[in-house]
Amino acid sequence: MASKRQIFVGGVPIGGGAPVAVQTMTKTETANLQATMEQIRTVADAGADLVRVAVPREKDAEALKTIVKDSPIPVIADIHFNHTLALKAIDAGAHCIRLNPGNIGGREKVAEVAVKATEAGVPMRIGVNSGSLPKHLHDLEREAPVEALVAAAVEFVELMESLEFENFKVSIKSTNVPNTIAANRLLAEKIPYPIHLGITEAGTKWSGALKSSVGLGTLLADGVGDTIRISLSTFHAEEEVKVAWEILKALQLRERGPVLIACPTCGRLQFDMDTVVAEIEQRLEAYEEPIEVAVLGCAVNGIGEASHADFGITGAKNEGLIFAQGKPLRKIPQEQLVDTLFEEIDKSLGRGKTEFEEAQAAEGEEWLRRIEEENAGDLTPEKIAAMEKAAAEKGEDITAPGAEGEDGEYMKPVKKGKRVELGEDASPTAGRRFTRA
Ligand code: SF4
Protein backbone atom coordinates (compact mmCIF):
# COMPACT_ATOMS: atom_id res chain seq x y z
CA MET A 1 0.00 0.00 0.00
CA ALA A 2 2.97 2.34 -0.32
CA SER A 3 1.93 5.48 -2.17
CA LYS A 4 2.16 5.10 -5.93
CA ARG A 5 3.53 8.58 -6.53
CA GLN A 6 6.94 9.78 -5.47
CA ILE A 7 8.05 13.35 -4.91
CA PHE A 8 11.43 14.80 -3.98
CA VAL A 9 11.95 17.28 -1.18
CA GLY A 10 15.45 18.52 -1.93
CA GLY A 11 17.24 15.26 -2.62
CA VAL A 12 14.99 13.19 -0.35
CA PRO A 13 12.52 10.87 -2.10
CA ILE A 14 9.10 10.67 -0.45
CA GLY A 15 6.67 7.89 -1.28
CA GLY A 16 6.66 5.39 -4.09
CA GLY A 17 8.48 2.83 -1.94
CA ALA A 18 11.24 5.14 -0.68
CA PRO A 19 12.32 4.70 2.95
CA VAL A 20 9.96 6.47 5.36
CA ALA A 21 11.49 9.92 5.85
CA VAL A 22 11.91 11.40 9.32
CA GLN A 23 11.08 15.04 9.74
CA THR A 24 10.79 17.44 12.60
CA MET A 25 10.12 21.13 13.11
CA THR A 26 12.32 23.74 14.70
CA LYS A 27 11.01 25.37 17.85
CA THR A 28 13.00 28.55 17.53
CA GLU A 29 11.92 31.89 16.10
CA THR A 30 12.94 31.21 12.50
CA ALA A 31 14.41 34.67 12.02
CA ASN A 32 16.80 34.01 14.91
CA LEU A 33 19.37 32.57 12.57
CA GLN A 34 21.86 31.41 15.15
CA ALA A 35 19.30 29.53 17.26
CA THR A 36 17.50 28.09 14.24
CA MET A 37 20.67 26.86 12.55
CA GLU A 38 21.89 25.37 15.80
CA GLN A 39 18.65 23.41 16.16
CA ILE A 40 18.69 22.32 12.52
CA ARG A 41 22.21 20.94 12.92
CA THR A 42 21.19 19.16 16.11
CA VAL A 43 18.18 17.48 14.51
CA ALA A 44 20.19 16.57 11.42
CA ASP A 45 22.80 14.91 13.67
CA ALA A 46 19.98 13.04 15.42
CA GLY A 47 18.84 11.66 12.05
CA ALA A 48 16.22 14.05 10.67
CA ASP A 49 15.96 13.72 6.89
CA LEU A 50 13.91 16.92 6.60
CA VAL A 51 13.26 19.95 8.78
CA ARG A 52 10.29 22.32 8.79
CA VAL A 53 10.47 25.91 9.95
CA ALA A 54 7.56 28.22 10.74
CA VAL A 55 7.30 31.24 8.44
CA PRO A 56 4.69 33.54 10.03
CA ARG A 57 6.48 36.87 9.30
CA GLU A 58 8.35 38.61 6.50
CA LYS A 59 11.59 38.42 8.46
CA ASP A 60 11.24 34.62 8.68
CA ALA A 61 10.88 34.39 4.89
CA GLU A 62 13.95 36.60 4.61
CA ALA A 63 15.90 34.39 7.04
CA LEU A 64 15.02 31.36 4.91
CA LYS A 65 17.56 32.45 2.29
CA THR A 66 20.41 31.83 4.71
CA ILE A 67 18.79 28.81 6.37
CA VAL A 68 18.29 26.98 3.08
CA LYS A 69 21.88 27.72 2.06
CA ASP A 70 23.42 26.56 5.36
CA SER A 71 21.12 23.68 6.32
CA PRO A 72 22.57 20.18 5.97
CA ILE A 73 19.06 18.82 5.22
CA PRO A 74 16.18 20.05 3.04
CA VAL A 75 14.03 22.79 4.57
CA ILE A 76 10.22 22.96 4.45
CA ALA A 77 8.54 26.34 4.95
CA ASP A 78 5.40 26.15 7.09
CA ILE A 79 2.90 28.74 5.88
CA HIS A 80 -0.54 29.66 7.16
CA PHE A 81 -3.01 32.36 6.07
CA ASN A 82 -0.62 34.47 3.99
CA HIS A 83 0.09 33.25 0.48
CA THR A 84 2.64 35.99 -0.19
CA LEU A 85 4.85 34.37 2.44
CA ALA A 86 4.61 31.12 0.46
CA LEU A 87 5.72 32.98 -2.68
CA LYS A 88 8.62 34.56 -0.79
CA ALA A 89 9.60 31.22 0.74
CA ILE A 90 9.84 29.72 -2.76
CA ASP A 91 11.97 32.67 -3.85
CA ALA A 92 14.15 32.10 -0.78
CA GLY A 93 14.86 28.57 -2.00
CA ALA A 94 12.67 26.51 0.38
CA HIS A 95 12.72 22.85 -0.68
CA CYS A 96 9.02 22.38 0.06
CA ILE A 97 6.04 24.50 1.13
CA ARG A 98 3.58 23.27 3.71
CA LEU A 99 0.21 24.86 3.04
CA ASN A 100 -3.38 24.41 4.15
CA PRO A 101 -5.32 25.34 0.98
CA GLY A 102 -8.34 25.98 3.21
CA ASN A 103 -6.83 28.90 5.09
CA ILE A 104 -4.80 30.70 2.45
CA GLY A 105 -7.55 32.93 1.04
CA GLY A 106 -9.21 31.08 -1.83
CA ARG A 107 -8.52 29.28 -5.08
CA GLU A 108 -6.80 32.23 -6.80
CA LYS A 109 -4.17 32.50 -4.10
CA VAL A 110 -3.55 28.75 -4.03
CA ALA A 111 -3.22 28.91 -7.83
CA GLU A 112 -0.60 31.68 -7.55
CA VAL A 113 1.48 29.56 -5.21
CA ALA A 114 1.05 26.48 -7.42
CA VAL A 115 2.29 28.37 -10.50
CA LYS A 116 5.36 29.65 -8.68
CA ALA A 117 6.07 26.23 -7.13
CA THR A 118 5.83 24.62 -10.58
CA GLU A 119 8.27 27.14 -12.04
CA ALA A 120 10.72 26.53 -9.20
CA GLY A 121 10.18 22.75 -9.15
CA VAL A 122 9.22 22.96 -5.48
CA PRO A 123 6.79 20.39 -4.02
CA MET A 124 4.10 21.14 -1.46
CA ARG A 125 2.58 19.41 1.46
CA ILE A 126 -1.11 20.12 1.59
CA GLY A 127 -2.70 19.33 4.87
CA VAL A 128 -5.89 19.35 6.82
CA ASN A 129 -6.21 19.50 10.58
CA SER A 130 -9.18 18.26 12.56
CA GLY A 131 -9.45 21.70 14.15
CA SER A 132 -9.76 23.67 10.92
CA LEU A 133 -12.02 21.86 8.45
CA PRO A 134 -13.87 23.96 5.84
CA LYS A 135 -17.29 25.23 7.01
CA HIS A 136 -19.33 23.12 4.61
CA LEU A 137 -17.91 19.98 6.27
CA HIS A 138 -18.78 20.96 9.86
CA ASP A 139 -22.09 19.02 9.90
CA LEU A 140 -20.39 15.93 8.52
CA GLU A 141 -17.59 16.41 11.05
CA ARG A 142 -20.07 16.19 13.92
CA GLU A 143 -21.60 12.97 12.57
CA ALA A 144 -18.58 11.30 11.04
CA PRO A 145 -15.28 13.02 11.87
CA VAL A 146 -13.13 10.52 9.96
CA GLU A 147 -15.11 10.87 6.74
CA ALA A 148 -15.08 14.67 7.13
CA LEU A 149 -11.27 14.72 7.44
CA VAL A 150 -10.85 12.51 4.39
CA ALA A 151 -13.42 14.51 2.41
CA ALA A 152 -11.49 17.72 3.15
CA ALA A 153 -8.18 16.14 2.12
CA VAL A 154 -9.67 14.75 -1.10
CA GLU A 155 -11.18 18.16 -1.93
CA PHE A 156 -7.75 19.73 -1.56
CA VAL A 157 -6.21 17.04 -3.74
CA GLU A 158 -8.85 17.73 -6.42
CA LEU A 159 -8.22 21.45 -6.12
CA MET A 160 -4.48 20.98 -6.73
CA GLU A 161 -5.17 18.61 -9.64
CA SER A 162 -7.53 21.15 -11.19
CA LEU A 163 -4.64 23.62 -10.99
CA GLU A 164 -2.47 21.04 -12.77
CA PHE A 165 -0.20 20.77 -9.75
CA GLU A 166 0.57 17.21 -8.67
CA ASN A 167 3.94 17.59 -6.99
CA PHE A 168 2.62 17.22 -3.45
CA LYS A 169 2.16 15.01 -0.43
CA VAL A 170 -0.89 15.06 1.78
CA SER A 171 -1.43 15.06 5.52
CA ILE A 172 -4.43 14.57 7.75
CA LYS A 173 -3.75 15.50 11.33
CA SER A 174 -5.86 14.98 14.41
CA THR A 175 -5.23 14.84 18.14
CA ASN A 176 -7.39 11.73 18.21
CA VAL A 177 -5.34 8.57 17.61
CA PRO A 178 -8.13 6.23 16.39
CA ASN A 179 -9.44 8.95 14.04
CA THR A 180 -5.94 9.55 12.69
CA ILE A 181 -5.52 5.84 12.00
CA ALA A 182 -8.93 5.45 10.37
CA ALA A 183 -8.65 8.65 8.32
CA ASN A 184 -5.21 7.85 6.92
CA ARG A 185 -6.19 4.28 6.07
CA LEU A 186 -9.16 5.61 4.14
CA LEU A 187 -7.13 8.36 2.49
CA ALA A 188 -4.46 5.87 1.34
CA GLU A 189 -7.17 3.93 -0.50
CA LYS A 190 -8.39 7.05 -2.27
CA ILE A 191 -5.26 8.88 -3.42
CA PRO A 192 -1.95 7.87 -5.05
CA TYR A 193 0.06 10.70 -3.48
CA PRO A 194 2.59 10.31 -0.65
CA ILE A 195 1.19 10.69 2.85
CA HIS A 196 2.76 12.53 5.75
CA LEU A 197 1.83 11.15 9.18
CA GLY A 198 1.63 12.82 12.55
CA ILE A 199 -0.51 13.12 15.66
CA THR A 200 -1.22 16.78 16.35
CA GLU A 201 -0.40 18.12 19.79
CA ALA A 202 0.49 14.61 20.93
CA GLY A 203 1.78 15.80 24.30
CA THR A 204 4.89 15.48 26.40
CA LYS A 205 7.92 13.34 25.66
CA TRP A 206 6.33 10.41 27.48
CA SER A 207 2.66 10.55 26.50
CA GLY A 208 3.31 12.08 23.09
CA ALA A 209 5.84 9.41 22.19
CA LEU A 210 3.38 6.69 23.19
CA LYS A 211 0.42 8.19 21.33
CA SER A 212 2.55 8.68 18.23
CA SER A 213 3.98 5.17 18.45
CA VAL A 214 0.50 3.67 18.62
CA GLY A 215 -0.98 5.85 15.88
CA LEU A 216 1.92 6.06 13.47
CA GLY A 217 3.16 2.56 14.27
CA THR A 218 -0.23 1.07 13.38
CA LEU A 219 -0.37 2.94 10.08
CA LEU A 220 3.22 2.18 9.15
CA ALA A 221 2.65 -1.49 9.94
CA ASP A 222 -0.24 -1.29 7.46
CA GLY A 223 2.12 0.19 4.89
CA VAL A 224 0.50 3.64 5.12
CA GLY A 225 2.74 6.69 5.48
CA ASP A 226 5.81 7.94 3.64
CA THR A 227 7.15 10.57 6.00
CA ILE A 228 6.57 11.08 9.72
CA ARG A 229 6.86 13.75 12.32
CA ILE A 230 6.49 13.15 16.05
CA SER A 231 5.05 16.23 17.76
CA LEU A 232 6.30 16.58 21.32
CA SER A 233 5.89 19.42 23.78
CA THR A 234 9.58 20.02 24.26
CA PHE A 235 11.98 22.62 22.98
CA HIS A 236 14.37 19.80 22.08
CA ALA A 237 13.28 18.89 18.56
CA GLU A 238 15.93 16.16 18.45
CA GLU A 239 13.77 14.19 20.91
CA GLU A 240 11.08 14.02 18.22
CA VAL A 241 13.63 12.62 15.81
CA LYS A 242 14.79 9.97 18.28
CA VAL A 243 11.23 8.77 18.87
CA ALA A 244 10.59 8.65 15.11
CA TRP A 245 13.66 6.50 14.63
CA GLU A 246 12.71 4.15 17.43
CA ILE A 247 9.33 3.59 15.72
CA LEU A 248 10.98 2.92 12.36
CA LYS A 249 13.60 0.64 13.94
CA ALA A 250 10.98 -1.26 15.94
CA LEU A 251 9.06 -1.96 12.72
CA GLN A 252 12.33 -2.79 10.95
CA LEU A 253 11.50 -0.20 8.32
CA ARG A 254 14.88 1.47 8.60
CA GLU A 255 18.16 0.88 10.39
CA ARG A 256 20.09 3.52 12.20
CA GLY A 257 22.70 3.04 14.89
CA PRO A 258 22.72 0.42 17.62
CA VAL A 259 19.78 -1.53 18.98
CA LEU A 260 19.73 -2.07 22.73
CA ILE A 261 17.95 -5.09 24.13
CA ALA A 262 17.56 -5.53 27.86
CA CYS A 263 15.73 -7.99 30.06
CA PRO A 264 12.81 -6.55 32.05
CA THR A 265 14.54 -7.59 35.32
CA CYS A 266 12.92 -9.65 38.04
CA GLY A 267 13.65 -10.91 41.53
CA ARG A 268 16.79 -12.67 40.27
CA LEU A 269 18.43 -9.41 39.23
CA GLN A 270 22.03 -9.34 40.40
CA PHE A 271 23.19 -5.82 39.61
CA ASP A 272 21.97 -2.26 39.24
CA MET A 273 20.33 -2.61 35.83
CA ASP A 274 18.53 0.75 35.84
CA THR A 275 21.65 2.85 35.87
CA VAL A 276 23.68 0.42 33.78
CA VAL A 277 21.08 0.27 30.98
CA ALA A 278 20.62 4.05 31.05
CA GLU A 279 24.38 4.58 30.79
CA ILE A 280 24.74 2.07 27.97
CA GLU A 281 21.84 3.61 26.06
CA GLN A 282 23.38 7.05 26.37
CA ARG A 283 26.87 5.92 25.36
CA LEU A 284 25.51 3.99 22.37
CA GLU A 285 24.12 7.24 20.95
CA ALA A 286 27.67 8.06 19.85
CA TYR A 287 27.73 5.02 17.51
CA GLU A 288 26.41 4.85 13.98
CA GLU A 289 26.96 1.13 13.43
CA PRO A 290 23.78 -1.01 13.64
CA ILE A 291 25.18 -3.23 16.40
CA GLU A 292 22.90 -5.07 18.80
CA VAL A 293 23.83 -4.86 22.48
CA ALA A 294 22.16 -7.00 25.14
CA VAL A 295 21.96 -6.43 28.88
CA LEU A 296 20.88 -9.39 31.01
CA GLY A 297 20.12 -8.80 34.69
CA CYS A 298 21.54 -12.15 35.79
CA ALA A 299 23.52 -15.05 34.40
CA VAL A 300 21.13 -17.67 35.76
CA ASN A 301 19.87 -18.42 32.25
CA GLY A 302 23.23 -18.36 30.60
CA ILE A 303 23.33 -16.07 27.59
CA GLY A 304 21.22 -18.13 25.23
CA GLU A 305 18.41 -15.57 25.07
CA ALA A 306 20.85 -12.95 23.88
CA SER A 307 23.00 -15.19 21.72
CA HIS A 308 22.09 -13.26 18.55
CA ALA A 309 23.40 -9.98 20.02
CA ASP A 310 26.71 -8.65 18.77
CA PHE A 311 27.72 -7.76 22.34
CA GLY A 312 26.26 -8.17 25.78
CA ILE A 313 26.81 -8.13 29.50
CA THR A 314 25.44 -10.02 32.44
CA GLY A 315 26.39 -10.07 36.09
CA ALA A 316 26.30 -12.08 39.31
CA LYS A 317 27.95 -11.89 42.73
CA ASN A 318 30.09 -8.81 42.13
CA GLU A 319 31.35 -10.22 38.90
CA GLY A 320 30.19 -9.84 35.36
CA LEU A 321 30.65 -11.26 31.92
CA ILE A 322 31.12 -9.58 28.58
CA PHE A 323 29.94 -11.75 25.74
CA ALA A 324 29.76 -11.47 21.99
CA GLN A 325 27.73 -13.44 19.44
CA GLY A 326 26.63 -15.90 22.12
CA LYS A 327 30.14 -16.65 23.43
CA PRO A 328 31.95 -15.37 26.54
CA LEU A 329 34.64 -12.79 25.86
CA ARG A 330 35.89 -12.19 29.40
CA LYS A 331 34.90 -12.13 33.07
CA ILE A 332 35.49 -8.90 34.97
CA PRO A 333 34.59 -7.15 38.24
CA GLN A 334 31.03 -5.83 38.07
CA GLU A 335 31.99 -2.16 38.45
CA GLN A 336 34.03 -2.39 35.24
CA LEU A 337 31.26 -3.96 33.17
CA VAL A 338 30.16 -0.91 31.21
CA ASP A 339 33.60 0.56 30.50
CA THR A 340 34.95 -2.82 29.44
CA LEU A 341 31.92 -3.47 27.25
CA PHE A 342 32.63 -0.27 25.33
CA GLU A 343 36.36 -1.07 25.13
CA GLU A 344 35.45 -4.39 23.51
CA ILE A 345 32.92 -2.78 21.16
CA ASP A 346 35.51 -0.21 20.06
CA LYS A 347 38.20 -2.86 19.58
CA SER A 348 35.89 -5.01 17.55
CA LEU A 349 34.61 -2.17 15.36
CA GLY A 350 38.19 -0.98 14.84
CA ARG A 351 39.34 -4.43 13.68
CA GLY A 352 36.19 -5.21 11.76
CA LYS A 353 35.74 -8.42 13.75
CA THR A 354 35.52 -9.67 17.33
CA GLU A 355 38.56 -11.56 18.53
CA PHE A 356 38.22 -13.97 21.44
CA GLU A 357 41.29 -14.39 23.66
CA GLU A 358 41.35 -18.10 24.47
CA ALA A 359 42.26 -18.04 28.20
CA GLN A 360 39.89 -15.16 29.02
CA ALA A 361 37.05 -16.72 27.06
CA ALA A 362 37.59 -20.05 28.86
CA GLU A 363 37.55 -18.29 32.24
CA GLY A 364 34.28 -16.58 31.28
CA GLU A 365 32.84 -19.90 30.08
CA GLU A 366 33.73 -21.55 33.38
CA TRP A 367 32.19 -18.70 35.41
CA LEU A 368 29.00 -18.90 33.40
CA ARG A 369 28.82 -22.68 33.77
CA ARG A 370 29.21 -22.34 37.55
CA ILE A 371 26.44 -19.71 37.84
CA GLU A 372 24.11 -21.79 35.70
CA GLU A 373 24.89 -24.90 37.74
CA GLU A 374 24.30 -23.14 41.06
CA ASN A 375 20.91 -21.94 39.82
CA ALA A 376 19.94 -24.97 37.79
CA GLY A 377 16.65 -25.43 39.71
CA ASP A 378 15.43 -21.87 39.14
CA LEU A 379 12.59 -21.48 36.70
CA THR A 380 13.25 -18.13 35.13
CA PRO A 381 11.00 -16.43 32.55
CA GLU A 382 13.59 -17.34 29.93
CA LYS A 383 13.70 -21.02 30.94
CA ILE A 384 9.91 -21.25 30.93
CA ALA A 385 9.82 -19.67 27.47
CA ALA A 386 12.45 -22.11 26.23
CA MET A 387 10.51 -25.04 27.72
CA GLU A 388 7.29 -23.81 26.10
CA LYS A 389 9.01 -23.45 22.77
CA ALA A 390 10.51 -26.94 22.93
CA ALA A 391 7.17 -28.40 24.01
CA ALA A 392 5.29 -26.58 21.25
CA GLU A 393 7.69 -27.96 18.67
CA LYS A 394 6.82 -31.43 19.93
CA GLY A 395 3.07 -30.65 19.95
CA GLU A 396 2.96 -30.49 23.76
CA ASP A 397 1.72 -27.80 26.13
CA ILE A 398 3.52 -27.37 29.44
CA THR A 399 0.99 -24.79 30.58
CA ALA A 400 -2.07 -27.02 30.17
CA PRO A 401 -4.05 -27.97 33.32
CA GLY A 402 -2.51 -31.11 34.79
CA ALA A 403 0.86 -30.26 33.35
CA GLU A 404 2.36 -30.70 36.80
CA GLY A 405 2.31 -34.48 36.21
CA GLU A 406 1.61 -37.35 38.59
CA ASP A 407 5.10 -37.51 39.98
CA GLY A 408 4.87 -33.86 40.96
CA GLU A 409 7.48 -32.76 38.46
CA TYR A 410 6.75 -29.10 37.84
CA MET A 411 5.35 -28.39 34.42
CA LYS A 412 5.96 -31.81 33.03
CA PRO A 413 4.98 -31.64 29.36
CA VAL A 414 1.66 -33.24 28.44
CA LYS A 415 0.53 -34.14 24.96
CA LYS A 416 -2.21 -32.08 23.40
CA GLY A 417 -3.39 -31.08 19.97
CA LYS A 418 -0.85 -29.49 17.71
CA ARG A 419 -0.60 -25.76 18.26
CA VAL A 420 -1.84 -23.40 15.63
CA GLU A 421 1.18 -21.80 14.07
CA LEU A 422 0.85 -18.37 12.56
CA GLY A 423 2.05 -18.43 9.01
CA GLU A 424 3.42 -15.49 7.09
CA ASP A 425 -0.02 -14.94 5.57
CA ALA A 426 -1.52 -14.31 8.99
CA SER A 427 1.16 -11.82 9.97
CA PRO A 428 -0.06 -8.22 10.15
CA THR A 429 3.11 -7.22 8.35
CA ALA A 430 3.08 -9.90 5.66
CA GLY A 431 3.83 -8.69 2.17
CA ARG A 432 4.29 -5.14 3.30
CA ARG A 433 7.30 -2.90 3.07
CA PHE A 434 9.46 -4.42 5.71
CA THR A 435 12.45 -5.16 3.57
CA ARG A 436 13.12 -1.51 2.87
CA ALA A 437 16.53 -0.30 4.01
S1 SF4 B 1 15.85 -14.06 35.19
FE2 SF4 B 1 15.65 -13.00 33.23
S3 SF4 B 1 14.37 -11.20 33.68
FE4 SF4 B 1 15.17 -11.95 35.65
S5 SF4 B 1 17.03 -10.75 35.95
FE6 SF4 B 1 17.65 -12.69 35.01
S7 SF4 B 1 17.73 -12.22 32.80
FE8 SF4 B 1 16.54 -10.56 33.79
**Ligand 1 centroid from CA 245, angstroms:** 27
pLDDT over threshold 70, residue 410: no
Model pLDDT, residue 328:
94
- Alpha-carbon distances, residue 87 vs 30, 113, 140 (angstroms): 17, 6, 33
Query: With pLDDT > 70 as the criterion, what percentage of the chain qualifies?
Result: 90
Q: Distance from the CA of 295 to the center of ligand 1, in angstroms?
A: 10
Task: Report the candidate in 288, 281, 291, 299 with the shortest Cα–Cα distance to residue 344.
Answer: 291
Confidence of residue 411 (pLDDT cuts 50, 70, 90): very low
The most confident of 145-149, 409-413, 426-430, by mean pLDDT: 145-149
- Torsion of the alpha carbons at 212, 213, 219 and 220, rounded to the nearest 10: 120
Architecture of domain 6-250: Alpha-Beta Barrel (3.20)
**Is pLDDT at 309 greater than 50 in this prediction?**
yes
Average pLDDT over residues 255-276: 87
Measured from the Cα of 378, ligand 1's closest atom is: 1
399 confidence band (pLDDT: 50, 70, 90): low
Residue 52 pLDDT level (bands cut at 50, 70, 90): very high
What spacing in Å lies between the alpha carbon of 213 and ligand 1's midpoint? 26
| 368 CA distance to ligand 1 middle (Å) | 15
Each domain of the chain, given as residue ranges in start order, spans 6-250, 259-374, 381-421
The tens digit of pLDDT for each residue in 153-173 reads: 999 999 999 999 999 999 998
pLDDT at 40: 98
pLDDT recorded at residue 377 = 75
Residues 6+ apart with CB under 8 A from 110: 83, 99, 101, 104, 159, 160, 163
Instruction: Check residue 201 and give its pLDDT.
Output: 80
CB 322 within 8 A of CB 337: yes
Q: What is the pLDDT of residues 65-100, one digit of tens each?
A: 999 999 999 999 999 889 999 999 999 999 999 998
Give Cα 30 to chain centroid, integer Å: 26
Does the pLDDT of residue 385 top 90, yes or no? no
Share of the chain above pLDDT 90, in %: 66
pLDDT of residue 427: 46
- The pLDDT tens digits for 171-205 are 998 889 999 999 999 999 999 999 999 998 878 88
Where does the pLDDT of residue 430 fall: very low under 50, low under 70, confident under 90, or very high at 90 and above?
very low
Quote the ligand 1 centre to 385 CA distance (angstroms).
Answer: 12
Calculate the average pLDDT of the chain: 88
The yes or no reply on domain 259-374 and CATH 3.30.413.10 is yes
Section 137-150 average pLDDT: 93
CB-based contacts of 198: which residues, under 8 Å, 6+ apart? Answer: 171, 173, 212, 216, 228, 229, 230, 231
Whole-angstrom distance, CA of residue 266 vs CA of residue 247: 26
* Ligand 1 mean position, distance from CA 120 (Å): 58
Instruction: Give the residues surrounding ligand 1 with Cβ less than 6 Å away.
Output: 263-266, 268-269, 296-298, 300-301, 380-382
Residue predicted with more confidence, 334 or 411: 334
Residue from 266, 305, 372 whose mutation best tests the ligand 1 pocket (most atoms within 8 A of CB): 266
- Residue nearest atom 4 of ligand 1, based on CA coordinates: 266
State which ligand 1 atom lies nearest to the alpha carbon of 270.
Answer: 5
Whole-angstrom distance, CA of residue 51 vs CA of residue 75: 5
pTM: 0.80
Q: Tell whether the model's pLDDT for residue 380 goes beyond 90.
A: no
pLDDT recorded at residue 404: 45
Burial of 118 (0-12, 13-18, 19+ CB in 10 A): middle
